[in-house]
Structure 1
Amino acid sequence: MAQSWWMGGVASALASVATHPLDSLKVRLQTAPTAISSGELIIAISKEDGGLLTLYKGVDAAILRQLTYSSARFAVYDQVKTLLMSSALLGSSPLLVRIFAATAGGIVGGIAGSPADLVNVRMQIDGKLPPTDRRNYANVISGIIAIVSKEGPFALFNGLSANILRAVLMTAGQIATFDTVKNEMIGSAGFSDSIFVQFIASIVGALVATTLCSPVDVVKSRLMSQSEKKKLYSGAIDAIQKISHNEGYSAFFNGWFDF
């Protein structure tokens, strides 16, 4: 248990290397001004943005994000869950314990990972911006330094409220669902703790987390990607209102398949 938090962070960082192109597609879809399919976007990127390798832009920021965000939320989730399970507080309801622990883990993880996540989103969409509006961060460190020097240190936490809510929903949907499904399969359905059980629990957790997080993730991507010179949204509530009014509620699930 003591090792699981950093092992989870390292595993998430390694996974981000493999999934980064899909994440870049997701962010491009979420921030697209008009509806576009994944296939159309891939064709456009291959023709206009220098080839599909540009989908790996920002992978170093994605790795740092996972090392901070995932490590923090796993560590807090494990510690809070263990504390609550061993005490009388909420001890009679394992599901409530997991939800409470997921909330605590999501808040801490969302704050810890926000700076790297901001740079990641900006690097992922840079290629679609007009040349005069591109930020051209060389890497995640130069991106953080540029943001602090040009916009101030608090700018590193643009979109923080949406990022925290996303992290809470992701942790609850992913980890808490995984724990619940695995325990039910072992305790009620008679399965042994095997790779098969963990695989099924992971699939269910990922599906729940993806669906819960998609609307918030769209808002987060929009807030983080907008130009500091010309902001389309003043905050999360304003973004929700404008997206729903101008694009319809389906826009909150742009990139769901690539999530």
Structure 2
Amino acid sequence: MVVAQRGIIPPRNYADTYWFKYILSCCAATTAELATYPLDLAKTRLQIQGEKGLNGANAPPYRGLARTGMGILQEEGLMKLWQGVTPAVYRHMIYSGTRMVLYEKMRDHLFTCRPDGTRPVWQAIVGGILAGGVAQFLASPADLIKVQMQMEGRRIFEGKPPRIQSASEAFVKIYHAGGLRGLWKGCMPNVYRSAFVNLGDLTTYDSVKRYFIGTWKLSDTYWTHGLASACSGFIGAALGTPLDVVKTRIMNQPTDVRASGISGLVSAVLGCPADCIKARIMNQPVDNMSRGLLYKNSVDCLMQTVRNEGFWALYKGFIPCWLRMGPWSLTFWITYEQIRNACGTSAF
């Protein structure tokens, strides 16, 4: 029997394994989320304002980003600016890790690489859409809990009884009220929104960064990362805000727990534009006495929003969305690239 001498078999390098990249992307996403979360809270509050049948007679008037943030600070307290941040971090543990690793795996094994290091844009678009959609579907329950927790401070200030006190309590109540399907309420507008956001964020960052390095001959440094992330943040906000509005409103609407079976399932998976719709759906009550649905599905939410409030209602919260997505992308990508470099992992 031959015994291998010490040092003959080199230690395995884990720096470029996908599970290690998953952990690094989660760390970068958590850093970015904690730094920019108050802007996300203000954006969600702005998207809920003006929703027909939900705001009472004493509802606050429309306010911009700064006044919304100051209103939360003055009326609810400093720490309420981070209300719902726990499920937001949980979401990124699933969402960011999955989308980054899935996109990079597709890029490395399926995309065509040109001699200058760039790849066809259409391949990057398909990869970004698929990675974002799959990741958001898996993370949708955490996003649902986050949106509902974000609205609790507003409800308490308006004199309404609190619905939930913690992320775990929200999870249990949603599960008891609607089962597993209830945890994926509003998931389709969320999935569509994330697909478009990743088309703007992941695809834009990857393509622009490689264009800067390959065509403009820029070095792979902070400046290149900053320029690429600035472009990705703007495009992501422009593509994702209407879908986020739809998603917000669907998630915020009251739930009729009696609406189940095939019709409920069909309604849950029908179309959806989404940032506004997402928040409204996700914030809906989870108790058994909740009102009937305001929207039949995401398409109905889109149509009602445009009919009742005009087309530009789909861009409610665009400024805070952009102001958040820009710093979020900048923080995330610079952090991600630097910790990859520090750990000996190849650049993204």
- The 1-side partners of 2:140 and 2:107 are apart by 24
**Which residue is equivalent to 1:170?**
197
- The 2-side partners of 1:100 and 1:212 are apart by 15
Secondary structure, aligned partner of 1:45: helix
Answer with 27-36 or 246-255: which moved more. 27-36
How many residues of Structure 1 are paired with residues of Structure 2 in the alignment?
255
Q: Taking every aligned residue pair, what percent have the same amino acid on both sides? A: 29
Pick the aligned partner of 2:130 from 104, 118, 130.
104
Pick the aligned partner of 1:183 from 206, 210, 214.
210
Give the structure with the higher percent helix: 1
- Does the aligned pair in 1 maintain the 2:38–2:69 contact within 8 Å? no
Tell me the amino acid that sits aligned with residue 29 of structure 1: L
**Which residue is equivalent to 1:21?**
38
**Which residue is equivalent to 2:177?**
150
Pick the aligned partner of 1:204 from 231, 237, 244.
231
**1:85 corresponds to 2:111:** yes
- The 1-side partners of 2:33 and 2:106 are apart by 26
What is the TM-score of this pair, normalised by structure 1?
0.91
Tell me the amino acid that sits aligned with residue 107 of structure 1: G
- The 1-side partners of 2:171 and 2:73 are apart by 28
Secondary structure, aligned partner of 1:13: helix
1:142-167 Cα offsets, whole Å, 9 max, x none, are 21111001222211111111111111
Tell me the amino acid that sits aligned with residue 256 of structure 1: F
Shift of 1:99: 1.1
- Does the aligned pair in 1 maintain the 2:136–2:191 contact within 8 Å? yes
**Which residue is equivalent to 2:73?**
46
What is the TM-score of this pair, normalised by structure 2?
0.69
Secondary structure, aligned partner of 2:319: coil
Secondary structure, aligned partner of 1:258: helix
Shift of 1:133: 5.4
Tell me the amino acid that sits aligned with residue 74 of structure 1: M
Shift of 1:62: 0.6
**Which residue is equivalent to 2:311?**
249
- The 2-side partners of 1:174 and 1:39 are apart by 25
- The 2-side partners of 1:44 and 1:227 are apart by 25
**Which residue is equivalent to 1:232?**
294
Tell me the amino acid that sits aligned with residue 226 of structure 1: Q
1:37-80 Cα offsets, whole Å, 9 max, x none, are 123323432343x2232121111011001111111111211112
Secondary structure, aligned partner of 2:49: coil
Unaligned 5+ residue runs, structure 2? 1-15, 51-60, 256-289, 322-348
- The 2-side partners of 1:158 and 1:133 are apart by 22
**Which residue is equivalent to 1:5?**
22
Tell me the amino acid that sits aligned with residue 249 of structure 1: F
Secondary structure, aligned partner of 1:193: coil
- The 2-side partners of 1:186 and 1:47 are apart by 46
Secondary structure, aligned partner of 1:155: helix
- The 2-side partners of 1:41 and 1:186 are apart by 40
Unaligned 5+ residue runs, structure 1? none
1:17-56 Cα offsets, whole Å, 9 max, x none, are 12111110010011111642123323432343x2232121
Shift of 1:110: 1.2
Shift of 1:86: 5.9
Pair 1:160–1:171, CA change in 2 (3 A):
same
Tell me the amino acid that sits aligned with residue 76 of structure 1: L
Tell me the amino acid that sits aligned with residue 219 of structure 2: S
Higher Cα Rg, which structure: 2
Shift of 1:172: 1.3
Shift of 1:184: 1.0
1:178-237 Cα offsets, whole Å, 9 max, x none, are 111111111111212221111100110111001110000011111112222232212110
- The 2-side partners of 1:193 and 1:45 are apart by 40
Q: What's the C-alpha RMSD, in Å, of the aligned pairs?
A: 2.2
